[in-house]
Amino acid sequence: MSTPTPVFLDCDTGIDDSVALAYLLRSPAINLVGVGTVSGNTDSAQAARNTLDLLAVAGRDDIPVAVGAHDFTSHPYDGGAPHVHGDNGVGDVVLPTSSQPIDERTAVQLLIDLSHTYAGTLHLLTIGPLTNIAAALAADPTLPERIAAVTTMGGTALAAGNISPVAEANIGNDPEAASVVFSADWDVTIVPLDVTMEHTLSDADRHALLESPSPLARTVGEILDHYLDFYLPQYGERVSSLHDPLAAVIAAGAATITRAPLVPVQVDTTNGPGRGQTVVDLRGQRLGDRNHEGVRTRFVRDVKSGTAAHLVEVITS
């Protein structure tokens, strides 16, 4: 068996972040070495609280969790998405409070420190706005030299946005940061709404989590309840989009990606109607994927189904 990949997770925990976190903790392909939090679904302090409490449920008090940016690069945090994620970010489920202290470092410093500890092998997985990562690049421009790869849940090309007609929340909340991150000198795999909206977890999957002997799986099952309510009007049934979990499965190398061209991705940082959009050059792709030379951003367009079953299997293991 190959060595698990050391992963730094930057997140805004968050219901689907919770599912992703549980998966990363249980996946044999992943060694989660640190977590930074950022505002997005909830604020960065609450996201750290939720993350620590979930780690405690999983019996893991060895993973440092550091609080990152409360406000975005160019504007203040605006209160998140309580209608989607509940008032506390985890579907209003009250988690037992972990006794593990929050790491004293900032999320930026923790990421930079771990990039030295795991130089050349550290995988960066981001499932929130990219505020911390842009700040880390500003603080240490050599960071990309020590990062093996970046996987980012965010953006959309040929699917509708979720915070504007064309903008997805993680990118749209901090377009300036996303623009910096996508322009840096590293390999980025973008996991956009184009695919995450097509991979769903059903209420039956949720019940499989609830019936597990694993406290972590049961907790995730409870948290998901709120999310399935939110998505009911969009899908016509109680299912959950697998935004962050799909990115985690891709980071673990456990997804069969069938379309993911290397294409230029620009982030709209104007104040026009397209603000926060990932402008992705998908021209000339009618006959199949066409990679642009010299481009290091891979835009995931299609992933084989079976994600929910895989998530349930790993989280309940």
- Which parts of this chain interact with a second copy (CB under 8 A)? 158-162, 164-166, 197, 233-236, 264, 266-274, 277, 279-287
Is 243 an active-site residue? yes
Give the bridge partners for 150, in sequence order.
124, 188
- Which residue among the candidates 85, 123, 226, 243 is catalytic per the annotation? 243
Distances in Å between the alpha carbon of 218 and those of 4, 24, 211? 25, 16, 7
Catalytic one of 12, 53, 103, 244: 12
Q: Which of residues 205 and 268 has its CB atom nearest to a second copy in the complex?
A: 268
- List alpha helices for the chain, DSSP H: 15-26, 44-57, 82-85, 107-117, 131-139, 143-146, 169-173, 175-183, 193-196, 203-210, 215-235, 243-251, 307-315
Which residue(s) pair with 200 in the sheet?
A: 241
Q: Which is nearer to a second copy, 234 or 305 (CB)?
A: 234
Rounded to 10°, the helix 203-210/215-235 angle is 170
Q: How far is the CB of 82 from a second copy (least distance, A)?
A: 19
Asked if 194 is an active-site residue, the reply is no
Cβ-based nearer residue to a second copy, 92 or 176: 176
Rounded Cα distance, 175 and 232, in Å? 29
Task: Supply the minimum distance, in Å, between the C-beta of residue 199 and a second copy.
Answer: 14
**In terms of CB distance, is 157 or 208 closer to a second copy?**
157
Which residues are 11's β-sheet partners?
Answer: 37
Cα distance between residue 73 and residue 108, in whole Å: 14
| Residues belonging to the active site | 12, 243
